Amino acid sequence: MKARDVVLVDGIRTAFGRAGEKGFFWYTRADDMVVKVIRELLRRNPQVKPEMIEENVWGATTQEKDQGLTLGRTSAILAGLPVDCSGFSVDRMCAGGMTAVTCAASEIALGACDIAIAGGVEHMGHHPMGATADPNPRFLTERIVSEDALVMGKTAENLHDEFPEITKEMSDEYAYWSQKKAAKAYEEGKIQKTIVPMTVYTKEGWVVADYDQQLRPDTTLEGLRNLRTPFRPLGKVTPGNASGLNDGAAGVLLMSAEKAEQLGIQPKMRLVAYAYAGVRPEVMGLGPVPATKKVLEKAGLTINDIDIIELNEAFAVQCLVFMKEFGFKMPNDERINPWGGAIALGHPLASSGPRLMIHMMHLFEENPSARYGLTTMCVGLGQGGAVIWENLMRK
């Protein structure tokens, strides 16, 4: 049996809020954010009737409470999808949503279903990363992994150690450009197109969550220079050159190319290839490098064939290592994150993979001459994920 082409028809996300009591999702459940995304995907695509959705796949890092009980199934029921729509949840930490998308795409490619919704959610206010985890003590007592592997900020400091040529000043400058690019994209009304406004209850009453709370358009290099280094005395990783703690959900609508044609839908992009790779957990930020090399080989492409790259900005240093390894201009290259990234917009763990894809979808539309795009990210405990997409809106 020959694998079928899988296409992305649409994608949408909630705003990304600050985690904690000051965030506008503090009183909102994670599964309700997922429901909002599912319903908005259906509202935006009336050719796709609810009864056509056969699979609903969602990534979440902490699968308990409002992110538990097999979120892919419960959110399908809550969103009003027919009872015969199946669903499941996956966990690959930061790449949970990316994995949900590639799992659903694999089902479509092999004919297990024709249409699926997939995405990721993370309510880091309700579920601080690793708060309820119970790592096997052998990890540390038998020195299977460095204790740094359990603290993401320390893994970023370790990357600075491995690549001493990447200085704190370079990381700060990278973060500065992320903030400036995101602010410009907001000013031009571009990022707003990726967000479905959601009315939520807060301490101030009912408000509309329709923007990313982490954005700091007034960021200056001087301000970044003076921030504390919480992971190491006199370190290089600061709250300014790292992503924050956030709440949010992001999802996409996938189907076979044949089904899109049958429904008269113009898909936005085709999934060309995907790959995941492992690296030493204590330098998890290296993950996008081997994952990208692996997916390029699978697709028969080189990095020079890639027109746009959406690289998740867990930490600035991790992005700079990627740019160095593939020969990009540091600390700012026009091919990478044209609208800024997670340092400016936020990184609600499992939501970030689909967020990269949603940006890619809009960037393809904005750049009709672009053919291939790459969405890639590092993953806690030492992994990387990468997906190559083809622009189906080319002219």
Mean of pLDDT values over 97-122: 98
What confidence tens digit (pLDDT) does each residue in 354-385 have? 999 999 999 999 999 999 999 999 999 999 99
Mean of all residue pLDDT scores within the chain = 97
pLDDT grade for 395, boundaries at 50, 70 and 90: confident
pLDDT at 1 over 90: no
Cβ–Cβ < 8 Å for 266, 365: no
Structural tokens at position 327: 């020969």
Whole-number Cα distances in Å, 316 to 99, 179, 264, 323, 370: 23, 12, 42, 11, 26
Residues above pLDDT 90, as percent of the chain: 97
Mean of pLDDT values over 221-229: 96
CA gap 110, 106 in Å, rounded: 6
Which residue among the candidates 94, 103, 113, 319 is catalytic per the annotation?
94
Mean of pLDDT values over 115-126: 98
Q: Is 362 a catalytic residue?
A: no
CA gap 175, 219 in Å, rounded: 9
pLDDT at 288 over 80: yes
Structural tokens at position 2: 């020959």
CA gap 279, 351 in Å, rounded: 22
Give the DSSP letter of residue 4.
Answer: P
Residue among 385, 371, 395, 392 at smallest CA distance from 100: 385
Q: Is 378 a catalytic residue?
A: yes
Which residue among the candidates 123, 126, 347, 362 is catalytic per the annotation?
347
pLDDT grade for 131, boundaries at 50, 70 and 90: confident
pLDDT of residue 281: 96
Residue 392 neighbours by CB distance under 10 Å: 18
Instruction: Annotate 208-233 with three-state secondary structure.
Output: EECCCCCCCCCCCHHHHHCCCCCCCC
Q: Is 127 a catalytic residue?
A: no
Mean of pLDDT values over 45-68: 97
What confidence tens digit (pLDDT) does each residue in 235-247 have? 999 999 999 999 9
Residue among 36, 19, 82 at smallest CA distance from 55: 82
pLDDT at 325 over 80: yes
Question: What is the distance between the terminal CA atoms of the chain, rounded to a whole angstrom?
Answer: 32
pLDDT of residue 6: 98
| Predicted structure pTM score | 0.97
Residue among 3, 12, 130, 107 at smallest CA distance from 57: 107
Structural tokens at position 70: 């097999």
Exposed/middle/buried for residue 99 (C-beta within 10 Å: 0-12, 13-18, 19+): buried
Structural domain boundaries of the chain? Answer: 6-125+244-388
What confidence tens digit (pLDDT) does each residue in 245-286 have? 999 999 999 999 999 999 999 999 999 999 999 999 999 999
Which residue among the candidates 85, 113, 319, 378 is catalytic per the annotation?
378
Residue among 345, 371, 374 at smallest CA distance from 357: 374
State the Cα angle at 51 between 50 and 55, rounded to 5°: 85
pLDDT of residue 140: 86
Tell me which fold the domain 6-125+244-388 belongs to: Peroxisomal Thiolase; Chain A, domain 1 (3.40.47)
Which residues, other chains included, contact 366 with Cβ-Cβ below 8 Å and sequence gap of 6+?
190
pLDDT at 209 over 80: yes
